[in-house]
Structure 1
Amino acid sequence: MLQVSSVLPIPLSVILIGAVVVCAFILLFQNSEKATTAPGPFAWPLFGNLLSLGKKPHEYLTSLRSVYGDVFQIKMGSHTTVVINGLQALKHVCVKQSEEFAGRPNFYSFNYIANGKSMGFSDYGPRWQLHRRIAQNVIAQFTNKRHNPIEEAIIQEAEFLTTNFLATPGKPVDPHNEIYLSVGNIICALCFGKRYKRDDPDFMQLVKNNDEFMAFAGAGNPVDIMPWMRHFTKRSFNKFVSILETMNKFSLKKRQEHLDTFNKMNIRDVTDALIQMTDDISEEEKLSVGLTDEHILITVQELIGAGFDTIASTLQWTVLFMSTNPEYQEKVHAEIREVIGMDRFPTMDDYPLLPFTEACIIETMRHSCIFPFALPHSTTKDTHVNGIYIKAKTLVFLNLWSVNYDEENFPEPKVYNPYRFLDSGGNVNRSAVDLFRPYGAGKRRCPGEQLARMELFLFFCTIMQKCKFDVIEEEPPVVDSKYGLTLKPKDFKVYVSARK
């Protein structure tokens, strides 16, 4: 016969221990110094609000705005996190209090990216300021010239992209791969001074590295928000480190090739320009802020990561929106045909002459909002926003989705409508454009904004000039995103035919 007394103590002990642990965590949360006085939903011990975020955390957090206001808090695992919502609050923290919100959290995984010498993932301070200034100056060398080699490379690559789109008439085309490879080639032209053939081993390695990094980063690193998880996720985190090591080896190989052939009288690309910077910036200045030559040279790796997936994803969205809104597609093509014709390819000189085309690009960026939270920020010192206290070193999310989908500024925000960015005269309404921030704002504003604008305009204009996109009636695309580090459109195919 089963003895009741021999069975009961085990489950009872488990229950009692569990109760003690839960109570201890609740007391810990209640008695610890508050990181912020912002309101927010109840958070569970250990996991915080993670279980409530769902598959579309940007939409969930935006829904909380109507309950808790523009500044509220959630718990990301063990991290108290302040979420900033709406344009006014965003401008306040990024512009008026830019230094106070320019920090980066000390996430465990950030110490491994670019050997811990990253500009984008490093905290705010004198070293970051010098590093940022160097990166901006180098990018400007290749995007602000009147006779711009990068513009020429984009035009050539856009022509190649349209040729590949039209290579299989009458057959469904998945635009993802060709767009991805073309954008990758522009990054190569910028960083390494050359465009590659699609089957080039170095180019294939670069694409593979970026694919693997984005896939892993998109899944998130649990150790960043729940440090205790590192004991249970060693295998997956080691895979992440292995991906980073492969990327580092590739960058070192390309850097050495440039060092072996470097000529300061002939700066060929960004890598050469960064090598030149290691000489131009005095050792005294570098030493004073702790910046090394390694910090400077590894900037190439960051430019590849920052300028690859974001541009490619936005261009995929443009194809999706044009194919599902044929009336806008025809209007874009008609405008390009009238201004440019069909015998030459678009250039940046055409930019101010194509307002409806520009409006479609802007509306695509607003609607897709591919980077809904940007990279996480942290406060650099104790501060206040809207009367709410936020302690130094507090994790901060800038909810860009809440800005792009604010019904007060963008009525019917889920509707794709480029006319919202045009005035009554058919010109781009700059006041409307100023209502959202696709490139961020303040100290952490995207340093590659000029290059991004150039790529989006030239690629979009060229494919709209030469190609007509039609949905596949039997397999209509779903206009929705899949969540990751960036918001990509769900996989889709279209018919592509040549414009006459």
Structure 2
Amino acid sequence: MLGITSVLPVPLTIILVIIVVVCAFVLFLQHRGIATTAPGPFAWPVFGNLLSLGKKPHEYLTSLRSVYGDVYQIKMGSHTTVVINGLKAMKQACIKQAEDFAGRPNFYSFHYIANGKSMGFSDYGPRWKLHRRIAQNALANFTNKRHNPIEEDIIQEAEFLTANFLSTPGKPVNPHNEIYLSVGNIICALCFGKRYRRDDPDFMQLVKNNDEFMAFAGAGNPVDIMPWMRHFTKRSFNKFVSILETMNKFSLKKRQEHLDTYNPMNMRDVTDALIKMTEDISEEEKSSVGLTDEHILITVQELIGAGFDTIASTLQWSVLFMATNAEYQDMVHAEIRKVVGMDRFPSMDDYSSLPFTEACIMETMRHSCIFPFALPHSTTKDTELNGVFIKAKTLVFLNLWSINYDKEIFPDPTVFNPYRFLDSDGNVNRSAVDLFMPFGAGKRRCPGEPLGRMELFLFFTTMMQRCKFNVIRGRVPVVDSKYGLTLKPKDFEVYVSARI
């Protein structure tokens, strides 16, 4: 049989060969020179797609999923950014290809957080792995035991919180401050071994530090996505650095207090546990990956930042959802009253016996989706996802909002409905719980998840046991978020009355 080239004129044969060679060369350049082959919207010079994001970037980027699919690209200033959407693509990236997507971008501001020795903001590699293992082990000493001191601290703080809510009967209450301070006190108990009075100078300083950091971080650092902006935003960025320096000084002060009184036979808190890690891990192992004692000890500062705003915001959402869904609030109280009674406060022993209560907590996390993009990721090597090429060191956004508000997974996603997490027998449907990722997934999954779940359960059940939250007639709160580093509910007030 004759080949196709034997019946074609020579010039046409040459043209076909040239076309094949050019196509192959173009494909080579795609995989060599560009960040990704993912589709995406037109991007303007300099600003990219920033001007299109609007006040609710999570909603805008989710809307692009229907146009470009689960893996598409946008331009964040000078950064080509891959946005991953949907449960299937997210699990493929974060779990099945976990190492490929476990990196952190080399953002300018990240070099200043925790003196550049952060675990959460550092890139993936041997040093990060050891740092992560140390942090997880330190946390596990105080959160993973069957009975542990931190649970008792949370129960006592939850009792104090509800008493404060009920201290001004008949007056409108904005739950933000009291919840924020109570959650902050649990972080203090975990990291520093004690809860503080509300007016304690150290506690007030810690709260102030965190407030200032969240306010600045929530506004975003334009230098991260447009590096040239640092020449025009020096005053603003210097303020950010000043906030970080204040946080560092506070951490150094608390660390020195622990070093002065440290006893390896008496682990008082996570700070002590981290000090012990610096002694137990050999200098050879640390130096082999470039980890220093400073890396290890500064982890306390990260735990404070990570565990403060996220839990407090979720609890604020829970009050809002209960106040605006009175029938569910009454059902939660009735379940707690039946299982726990009113003569004692709820404990973790009650967890498995309160399925409707747990379902309401899960629905609060789904509906609020306080961390719609998690922290930014980056690829650690050239890889592919859903047939799309993504170059190493490419910025990646994990769009968790696209999962929580996926109509195929969660019908009527804008409706608060705890029954979506229950089976026909009224038990928690674990398969439904696995359909979203409130604490992330894969290598970068939140190491404080056990503590976070404990806090949410104990604070929520105690509030629902002791308090009834009612909307104020004529001032029904708007169930909506304000965008920042986390999604917080817009300010609202409720009436709080005692359950008897």
Which residues of 2 match residues 420-439 of structure 1 at below 5 A?
A: 420-439=420-439
> Which position in structure 2 is the counterpart of 1:17?
none
SS in 1 for 2:397: strand
Q: Does 1:318 align with 2:332?
A: no
| TM-aligned CA deviation for residue 481 of structure 1 | 0.1
1:236-260 CA-to-partner distances (Å, cap 9, x unmatched) read 0000000000000000000000000
Distance of 1:254 and 1:474 partners within structure 2: 47
| TM-aligned CA deviation for residue 476 of structure 1 | 1.3
> Which position in structure 1 is the counterpart of 2:10?
none
SS in 2 for 1:84: strand
SS in 2 for 1:81: strand
| TM-aligned CA deviation for residue 33 of structure 1 | 2.4
> Which position in structure 2 is the counterpart of 1:202?
202
Which residues of 2 match residues 32-181 of structure 1 at below 5 A?
A: 33-181=33-181
Distance of 1:260 and 1:311 partners within structure 2: 31
> Which position in structure 2 is the counterpart of 1:269?
269
SS in 2 for 1:39: coil
SS in 2 for 1:342: coil
Q: Which amino acid aligns with 2:346?
A: P
SS in 2 for 1:74: strand
> Which position in structure 2 is the counterpart of 1:342?
342
Distance of 1:261 and 1:340 partners within structure 2: 40
Q: Which amino acid aligns with 1:137?
A: N
1:327-365 CA-to-partner distances (Å, cap 9, x unmatched) read 000000000000000000000000000000000000000
> Which position in structure 2 is the counterpart of 1:16?
none
1:254-296 CA-to-partner distances (Å, cap 9, x unmatched) read 0000000000011100000000000000000000000000000
SS in 2 for 1:409: coil
Distance of 1:374 and 1:427 partners within structure 2: 30
| TM-aligned CA deviation for residue 146 of structure 1 | 2.4
Distance of 1:423 and 1:335 partners within structure 2: 17
SS in 2 for 1:103: coil
> Which position in structure 2 is the counterpart of 1:372?
372
Which residues of 2 match residues 454-469 of structure 1 at below 5 A?
A: 454-469=454-469
> Which position in structure 2 is the counterpart of 1:332?
332
Distance of 1:451 and 1:260 partners within structure 2: 28
Distance of 2:221 and 2:375 partners within structure 1: 13
| TM-aligned CA deviation for residue 34 of structure 1 | 1.3
> Which position in structure 1 is the counterpart of 2:5?
none
Distance of 1:203 and 1:343 partners within structure 2: 31
> Which position in structure 2 is the counterpart of 1:281?
281
Which runs of 5 or more structure 1 residues have no equivalent in the other structure? 1-29
SS in 2 for 1:80: strand
> Which position in structure 1 is the counterpart of 2:248?
248
Q: Which amino acid aligns with 2:362?
A: I
SS in 2 for 1:311: helix
Which residues of 2 match residues 404-415 of structure 1 at below 5 A?
A: 404-415=404-415
| TM-aligned CA deviation for residue 193 of structure 1 | 0.1
| TM-aligned CA deviation for residue 147 of structure 1 | 2.5
Identity %: 86
| TM-aligned CA deviation for residue 144 of structure 1 | 1.4
SS in 1 for 2:484: coil
SS in 2 for 1:468: strand
Distance of 2:82 and 2:421 partners within structure 1: 31
| TM-aligned CA deviation for residue 187 of structure 1 | 0.1
Segments ≥4 residues shifted beyond 4 Å: none
Distance of 2:473 and 2:434 partners within structure 1: 37
Q: Which amino acid aligns with 1:449?
A: E
Alignment RMSD (CA, Å): 1.0
SS in 1 for 2:75: strand
SS in 2 for 1:104: coil
Distance of 2:166 and 2:80 partners within structure 1: 51
Q: Which amino acid aligns with 2:59?
A: E
Distance of 1:216 and 1:289 partners within structure 2: 32
Distance of 1:253 and 1:64 partners within structure 2: 48
> Which position in structure 2 is the counterpart of 1:308?
308
Q: Which amino acid aligns with 1:422?
A: L
Distance of 1:43 and 1:146 partners within structure 2: 53
Distance of 2:369 and 2:328 partners within structure 1: 20
Distance of 1:306 and 1:47 partners within structure 2: 30
Q: Does 1:360 align with 2:357?
A: no
SS in 2 for 1:83: strand
TM-score normalized by the length of structure 2: 0.94
